[in-house]
Amino acid sequence: MGEVTTAAGTVGDAIREARTALEAAGVADARREAEELYAALVRRPTSAAWLEREQPAPPPVRAALEAAARRRAAGWPQAYATGAANFRGHWLVVDSRALIPRPETEGLVDLVLEWAKAAERDGAPLLIADACTGSGAIAVALALEAPSAVRVVATDCSADALAVARANVEALGVADRVELRHGDLLQPLAGEPVDAVVSNPPYVAAAEWDALEPCVRDFEPREALVSGADGLAAIRALVEQARSTLRSGGLLALEVDARRAGDAAALAAAAGFVSCTVLEDLFGRPRYLRARSPGGGDGSD
């Protein structure tokens, strides 16, 4: 056993090698990044890099960490470098076919979960539409964390993104609660009424694309980010579709660009929604639009 350990090296050795590669490429905070790469590869908290530092590093893990460090040193986003992203404690498969889930979007899930605590529909599962699902992060989190029974219909216009979402739905055991449908926004629902519509839609203006950070612009799918000349095309279409899809008193919850949050709220109000409110994300930026379809629970909550 000693010979195997010596040949493979320890987890700490592998992480130090990854750190050296990242430092040579000029990656900031290379130590933290190397530890996070390891944690993502083994699907554990970042603390695993310290807690497991003296353990033997299995050759496949060491090789995967070396490859991930090379990709990160070449400018790849960390999630694409490892093929994994943690969203609300759930490890998701991610690659360039789908947008990387952000911490801000975790707050959007919180908003819907808060609504779900008080929402009831004759004992039947709440039906939630997740438009532009991408990796399936929102749909999976809702299926796993909702306080009562929910069914999620997750849509995306990208068949490639849906393939990523399908892998996550199956891996996290929510295939009985999440249905994936191919198509634009809410069109795949074909008029089926829902209790809530949630979405992190594209909201970057076309002219802003070139100014995005290279790790976003050069790797993440443009169609998941850019939404017309003003960045509001998807939101404009989504609020119109949601108005005819939501049940009376149903919830509309959208992640929006902080610079255009007021515009998004105005679009919802113009479409007939009530109680249109913009809420802040964990960084204190206006990030979420919460609105109600008229009737039912459209009080000022």
Q: Please write the tens of the pLDDT for every residue from 188-229.
A: 999 899 999 999 999 999 999 999 999 999 999 999 999 999
Query: How many domains does the chain contain in total?
Result: 2
Position 119 scores a pLDDT of 83
CATH number of the domain encompassing residue 110: 3.40.50.150
Q: Does pLDDT of 19 surpass 80?
A: yes
Q: How far apart are CA 197 and CA 183, in angstroms?
A: 15
Give per-residue pLDDT as tens, 225-251: 999 999 999 999 999 999 999 999 999
Q: Does pLDDT of 7 surpass 90?
A: no
Give per-residue pLDDT as tens, 85-118: 999 999 999 999 999 999 999 999 999 999 998 8
Q: Does pLDDT of 20 surpass 60?
A: yes
Using alpha carbons, select from 184, 218, 213, 214 the residue that is nearest to residue 201: 184
Position 233 scores a pLDDT of 97
Task: Let me know whether 277 and 130 are in one domain.
Answer: yes
Range of the domain at 269: 103-292
Using alpha carbons, select from 140, 132, 13, 149 the residue that is nearest to residue 85: 140
Beta strand residue intervals within 178-223, DSSP E: 178-182, 194-199
Q: Are 89 and 44 in contact (CB under 8 A)?
A: no
Task: Let me know whether 110 and 162 are in one domain.
Answer: yes
